[in-house]
Amino acid sequence: MAETTNYTEDNIRSLDWKEHIRLRPGMYIGKLGDGSSPDDGIYILIKEVIDNSIDEYVMGTGKTIEVKVSEDEVSIRDYGRGIPLGKVIDCVSKINTGAKYDSQAFKKSVGLNGVGTKAVNALSDYFKIQSVRDGQTKVAVFEKGQLVEDMPVTESAARRGTLVVFRPDNSIFKKFRFVAEYIERMIRNYVYLNPGLSIYLNGEKYYSENGLKDLLEENIDTEVLHPVIHLRGEDIEIAISHSEKSQSESYYSFVNGQHTTQGGTHLAAFREALVKTMREFYNKNFDPSDVRQSVIAAIAIKVVEPVFESQTKTKLGSADMGPDLPTVRTFIVDFVKTQLDNYLHKNQDVAEAILRKIMRAERERKDLAGIRKLARERAKKVSLHNKKLRDCRVHYTDLKNDRKQETTLFITEGDSASGSITKARDVNTQAVFSLKGKPLNCYNLTKKVVYENEEFNLLQAALDIEDGLENLRYNQVVIATDADVDGMHIRLLLITFFLQFFPELVREGHLYILQTPLFRVRNKKDTIYCYSEDERRNAMAKLGAKPEITRFKGLGEISPDEFKHFIGKDIRLDPVMIGRDSSVDKLLEFYMGKNTPQRQEFIIENLRVEKDDILV
């Protein structure tokens, strides 16, 4: 019988605030990541600090926020009221300390748990806080949550407000990098939600006059059925349009300025209200999917003391607008029913265009009904026999699971590659979908092809995105193909599939390309995997004495034991992003339409070819 471990008072330990945050960072900022995903921890750190500055603006002070992001350091300066000087240190180093518990000071704040800046402090190897108010200033400096400089209050002629400077701790956020597009998107959302606020990001000004109307007009990258319908009320703002070509639903939802990427009670209520209003306006019992097909909309509400389903606040759980206030559902349904109904009565041309769109969707749905039913049955049968999908145990829809942000689906080509990844993966959070040959080029094809093509139908079913992203089962959808001409073609065909039928998957930052090493450089003691020619040269110089060099020709040549290095904690992912000035329609036309001299020139300039075993 095994010896029983002694269990005494000495085994009981209490962690202080910074130790607990550093030991369990996922509880406070979600997944850590390396910056390749928009929900990685380094962006949550930035958001937590900016949220405080936004709250100052909401309360009527500080119309300007200055954000500077360098390679590894972030500086955020607002011109609000400034933290009371005697409480500067407490506000960033004592859990459950802050003004947001006083509902008179912050009635509809994003953060109410007093954790935000404390998490930033604890997870930064350098953290500086400075407050200026009443002609005086107070500065404190921390390292990994430990106070290292407590400067006395001094006189200051600077404008009132708060400055926070921090560097994420690279022992926690390993090999991180800031993706400028993710930070820019965050800043744009802030100004859309706070018309009149100016935010400067590295000197560039971001500003919005028309709120969510600007958000839709600046983000819609396809033809629309009608101008944006913009509805505003106390504690609610809505903007609605419809795509001329896309059949999917696309939503931007916010609560108290927080981008709720996974929706919640407010988004569910809005989708319900949209159907209810359209049915009553047209006096027809339309199918909900027909009403919502091709809708592009944004909704923002303000709630007293909101309750979110995780610390990163991606899904609203609140049922009520606040104490002694109506439910979120009642509030939104009543607003939409009144305001949207009034708009449609006053704008008959828009009402007629939407009616034609709904009836067209109804015809298409009925035409596809039989095909969809057979496709679902086929997908279910294949799933039962586990032929294409090697699933994982945790899914993105498991809201209470701390690891849901890590959930990944690898889309692979060939049996050998999928076999290696399957054997090397983390069975809890990583799934594998195996392609059979090259996918169909679906450019300019209708949704019917998704159900008739076995690969597309099964992929759609694996992701569970037939009716939108609400039930998306994996946070990261990763295309894993060889870095040769055939692999690049398969990659392009898959990107075309998602852009054609599920562009919101790309827009919301869920689609990635897996980077795998091109070379293995090793001697008897050390092995270095290299992802570029520069890395190969550096590895050769480091190991010296003629190391053995292996050029990987494809994923199938990498053993499962080696694959563990490339899809584990050091995984390298390149996000697939639609540029702000890019149109999905134009992108698809360029890459997948008829051959053009421009595309041939692009391929010649960008295709990597091998010469003497060296990439040039």
User: Is pLDDT at 606 greater than 90 in this prediction?
Assistant: no
Amino acid at 13: R
Burial class (CB in 10 A: 0-12, 13-18, 19+), 24: exposed
Token pair of 42 as six digits: 């380094």
User: Is pLDDT at 479 greater than 90 in this prediction?
Assistant: yes
Q: What is the pLDDT of residue 102?
A: 52
Q: What is the pLDDT of residue 234?
A: 92
Q: 579-586, long-range: CB within 8 Å, 24+ apart, which pairs?
A: 579/181, 580/181, 580/184, 580/218, 582/221, 583/221, 583/222, 584/221, 584/222, 584/246, 584/499, 584/503, 585/221, 585/222, 585/223, 585/245
- Tokens 């509880």 belong to residue: 27
pLDDT tens-digit series, residues 528-586: 989 888 999 999 999 988 899 998 877 877 888 888 888 988 888 989 887 665 666 66
| Best CATH choice for the domain 17-206 from the list 3.40.640.10, 1.20.1440.230, 3.30.565.10, 3.30.365.10 | 3.30.565.10
Q: What is the pLDDT of residue 224?
A: 92
Q: What is the pLDDT of residue 610?
A: 36
* Phi, psi of 480, deg, nearest 5: -120, 95
Domain assignments of the chain as residue spans, ordered by start: 17-206, 212-364, 386-516+552-578
Q: What is the pLDDT of residue 609?
A: 39
What average pLDDT does range 136-140 have in this prediction? 97
Per-residue confidence at 113, pLDDT binned at 50, 70, 90?
Answer: very low
Q: What is the pLDDT of residue 26?
A: 81
Per-residue confidence at 311, pLDDT binned at 50, 70, 90?
Answer: low
pLDDT tens-digit series, residues 224-279: 999 999 999 999 999 999 998 777 888 999 998 888 888 899 999 999 999 999 99
User: Is pLDDT at 424 greater than 70 in this prediction?
Assistant: yes
Q: What is the pLDDT of residue 420?
A: 86
- In this structure, of 9-13, 102-106, 272-276, 292-296, the range with the lowest mean pLDDT score is 102-106
pLDDT tens-digit series, residues 437-472: 888 888 888 888 888 888 898 899 899 988 778 889
Q: What is the pLDDT of residue 139?
A: 97
User: Is pLDDT at 303 greater than 50 in this prediction?
Assistant: yes
| Best CATH choice for the domain 212-364 from the list 3.30.230.10, 2.40.10.350, 3.40.50.300, 3.40.366.10 | 3.30.230.10
For residue 343, CA distances in Å to 229, 295, 314, 355, 363 come to 8, 16, 31, 14, 26
Per-residue confidence at 59, pLDDT binned at 50, 70, 90?
Answer: confident
Q: 317-326, long-range: CB within 8 Å, 24+ apart, which pairs?
A: 317/264, 317/265, 318/255, 318/264, 318/265, 319/265, 321/235
- Tokens 């859990």 belong to residue: 95
CATH number for the region 386-516+552-578 comes to: 3.40.50.670
User: Is pLDDT at 104 greater than 70 in this prediction?
Assistant: no
Per-residue confidence at 296, pLDDT binned at 50, 70, 90?
Answer: very high
149 SS3 class: strand
Q: What's the alpha-carbon Rg for the chain, to the nearest Å?
A: 26
Q: What is the pLDDT of residue 412?
A: 92
Per-residue confidence at 186, pLDDT binned at 50, 70, 90?
Answer: very high
pLDDT tens-digit series, residues 328-359: 999 999 999 999 999 999 999 999 999 999 99
Token pair of 310 as six digits: 């995780």
- In this structure, of 278-292, 321-335, 490-504, 583-597, the range with the lowest mean pLDDT score is 583-597
Return mean pLDDT, the chain. Answer: 86
Residue whose C-alpha is closest to residue 296's, from 261, 271, 279:
271
User: Is pLDDT at 152 greater than 80 in this prediction?
Assistant: yes
Share of the chain above pLDDT 70, in %: 87
Residue whose C-alpha is closest to residue 407's, from 419, 416, 394:
394
User: Is pLDDT at 81 greater than 90 in this prediction?
Assistant: yes
Name beta bridge partners: 168.
Answer: 124
Residue whose C-alpha is closest to residue 262's, from 407, 156, 121, 151:
407
DSSP per-residue string spanning 277-297: HHHHHHT----HHHHHTTEEE
Q: What is the pLDDT of residue 494?
A: 93
Q: What is the pLDDT of residue 219?
A: 87
User: Is pLDDT at 126 greater than 90 in this prediction?
Assistant: yes
- In this structure, of 49-53, 149-153, 564-568, the range with the lowest mean pLDDT score is 564-568
Contact 158, 82 (CB under 8 A): no
What distance in Å separates the CA atoms of residue 391 and residue 389, rounded to the nearest whole number? Answer: 6
179 SS3 class: coil
Q: Is the pTM of this model over 0.85?
A: no
User: Is pLDDT at 119 greater than 60 in this prediction?
Assistant: yes
- In this structure, of 36-45, 108-117, 387-396, 547-556, the range with the lowest mean pLDDT score is 108-117
Q: What is the pLDDT of residue 600?
A: 58
What distance in Å separates the CA atoms of residue 124 and residue 145, rounded to the nearest whole number? Answer: 7
pLDDT tens-digit series, residues 395-418: 988 877 878 889 999 999 877 788
pLDDT tens-digit series, residues 187-213: 999 999 999 999 999 999 999 999 999
